[in-house]
Amino acid sequence: MKTPFVTLEQVEELVKEYPTPFHLYDEKGIRENARKLKEAFSWNKGFREYFAVKATPNPFLLKILQEEGCGTDCSSMTELMMSEALGFQNKDIMFSSNVTPEEEYVKAKELGAFINLDDFTHIEFLERTCGIPETIFCRYNPGGFFKLGTDIMDNPGDAKYGFTKEQLIEGFKILKSKGVKNFGIHSFLASNTVTNEYYPMLAKVLFELAVEVKEKTGADIKYINLSGGVGIPYKPDQEGNDIMEIGIGVKKAFEEILVPNGMGDVSIFTELGRFMLAPYGCLVTKVIHQKHIYKEYIGVDACAVNLMRPAIYGAYHHISVLGKEDAACDFKYDVTGSLCENNDKFAIDRMLPKINIGDYLVIHDTGAHGFAMGYNYNGKLKSAEVLLKEDGSAQLIRRKETPEDYFATFDFCDILKDVKY
């Protein structure tokens, strides 16, 4: 059973000022989760979380994470600019990009960010573009399939990211000859894992790799970045990760592999996005239509523009009908938006309480890769983002888009200036 962090009474007050749909975030939950992650890795004196900005690029939320000691993981120019504007600087920023334009490397170098190279050919590209810094990370791709138990399988060999092991070893030799003094290794093998075994297994792979690379290159490996991949239980019957157990598992691998090889001072980094924020955000939407044809449809005022994961992945997001949390789920519905696409559905054949027009729905776990993936198909406008603060008050942290925003990039804006809407 998933319980919303907001009540019907709270939403009825919120909508007086912020009409649906809107994304709502829970400040208390965000802060508590960040502190728990930090505690789980407190055994490593250099540990730091670099929040994946792409998951939830909102400056108010980044500021909360900054206050909790997190850095930012950026993948584009605008994410670097946002981090800079918020006061993240130097080693507060990890720049992990691929197919990277010159100007983005230049910006990252100007900021003094950690640069994480995605490809062997980027060594020469970076040197020609802006020069090679004294500290550099390289992303490792082990190839083949990554399998963990019966549930987790991914295919690094089909991913566009990273160096092969041979390229990594040769790359470290080249970078060392060009003046690099401090090295980091980064890898990402699987997405949204709901198991306490993923990070420890990834850590073992990277720790053993670090020992081998150090032996073969003499590189001083200061950092190992476990990246993201620790997921959340989107379905109510799933058991979530225990970050404390995960921290213990990584510590065990650290003490078994790195410490005996004289690498006990290596700092561990993470780049979590979904784990950090997804459960602490939801999409609040209002039922505006019902349709009775071959199936029963519930039409809401949100659509895939506001949350596209169900449309593109068939991803499950739990839905609560506010005020009916304890009611029997004995009605089967498709919950849909208004786009001219049949995949614009938040749920298909979902058992829910009886829904009436005017009911408010909470679509859970949208705090990461929710608003961030929005778009403007059908001329739809992105919704507002609202923060439910620790003291119970609400703060608008991104206003909803307006038609003026949508038209602003057209050269013929003057033609539209007198249009009424």
Note if the pTM is more than 0.75.
Answer: yes
Q: Do 91 and 119 reside in the same domain of the chain?
A: yes
Last residue of a domain, one of 251, 278, 305: 278
In a domain, 418, yes or no: no
- pLDDT, tens only, 57-104: 999 999 999 999 999 999 999 999 999 999 999 999 999 999 999 999
Q: Do 226 and 240 reside in the same domain of the chain?
A: yes
DSSP state of 42: T
Q: Name the active-site residue from 74, 282, 329, 340.
A: 340
- pLDDT, tens only, 182-217: 999 999 888 899 999 999 999 999 999 999 999 999
Report whether pLDDT(285) > 70.
yes
Average pLDDT over residues 376-385: 96
CB 142 within 8 A of CB 212: no
Average pLDDT over residues 390-405: 95
What pLDDT is attached to residue 153? 42
Q: CA–CA separation, 123 vs 125, rounded Å?
A: 5
CB 59 within 8 A of CB 98: no
In a domain, 35, yes or no: yes
% pLDDT > 90, the chain = 90
In a domain, 83, yes or no: yes
Task: Assign residue 336 the CATH number of its domain.
Answer: 2.40.37.10
* pLDDT tier at 418, thresholds 50, 70, 90: low
Q: Do 45 and 70 reside in the same domain of the chain?
A: yes
The more confident residue out of 143 and 88 is 88
Confirm whether 413 is a catalytic residue. no
Tokens 């614009």 correspond to what residue? 344
Looking at the structure of the chain, the number of domains it has is: 2
- pLDDT, tens only, 288-342: 999 999 999 999 999 999 999 999 989 999 999 999 999 999 999 999 999 999 9
Residue 399 phi/psi, 5° resolution? -75, 160
In a domain, 6, yes or no: no
Average pLDDT over residues 398-411: 90
What pLDDT is attached to residue 148? 58
% pLDDT > 70, the chain = 94
Mark out the alpha helices in 242-326 (DSSP H runs): 243-253, 274-277, 309-313
Average pLDDT over residues 262-278: 98
Q: Do 177 and 236 reside in the same domain of the chain?
A: yes
Q: Supply 40's token pair.
A: 């789980």
In a domain, 21, yes or no: no
Average pLDDT over residues 220-226: 98
Q: Supply 55's token pair.
A: 């998951």
- pLDDT, tens only, 345-365: 999 999 999 999 999 999 999
**Range scoring the smallest mean pLDDT among 123-127, 221-225, 402-406:** 402-406
Q: Do 267 and 285 reside in the same domain of the chain?
A: no
Task: Assign residue 208 the CATH number of its domain.
Answer: 3.20.20.10
What pLDDT is attached to residue 111? 98
Report whether pLDDT(416) > 70.
no
Average pLDDT over residues 38-63: 98
Report whether pLDDT(150) > 50.
no
Domain range for 179: 27-278
Last residue of a domain, one of 228, 249, 278: 278
Q: Do 317 and 399 reside in the same domain of the chain?
A: yes
Report whether pLDDT(152) > 90.
no
Q: Do 270 and 349 reside in the same domain of the chain?
A: no
Q: Supply 44's token pair.
A: 């490593």
CB 382 within 8 A of CB 401: yes
* pLDDT tier at 235, thresholds 50, 70, 90: very high
* pLDDT tier at 146, thresholds 50, 70, 90: low
CB 284 within 8 A of CB 21: yes
Q: CA–CA separation, 356 vs 11, rounded Å?
A: 16
* pLDDT tier at 15, thresholds 50, 70, 90: very high
Average pLDDT over residues 154-181: 89
Q: Do 267 and 363 reside in the same domain of the chain?
A: no
Average pLDDT over residues 135-146: 85
2, 156, 326 from 145: Cα distances, Å = 33, 6, 43
Other beta carbons less than 10 A from residue 179's beta carbon = 10
In a domain, 41, yes or no: yes
Average pLDDT over residues 13-18: 98
Q: Do 364 and 390 reside in the same domain of the chain?
A: yes
* pLDDT tier at 409, thresholds 50, 70, 90: confident
Average pLDDT over residues 205-234: 97
Tokens 């030799």 correspond to what residue? 173
Q: CA–CA separation, 208 vs 257, rounded Å?
A: 7
Tokens 């909360």 correspond to what residue? 64
Average pLDDT over residues 376-384: 96
* pLDDT tier at 408, thresholds 50, 70, 90: confident
What pLDDT is attached to residue 420? 60
Average pLDDT over residues 404-408: 88
Q: Do 55 and 203 reside in the same domain of the chain?
A: yes
Report whether pLDDT(268) > 50.
yes
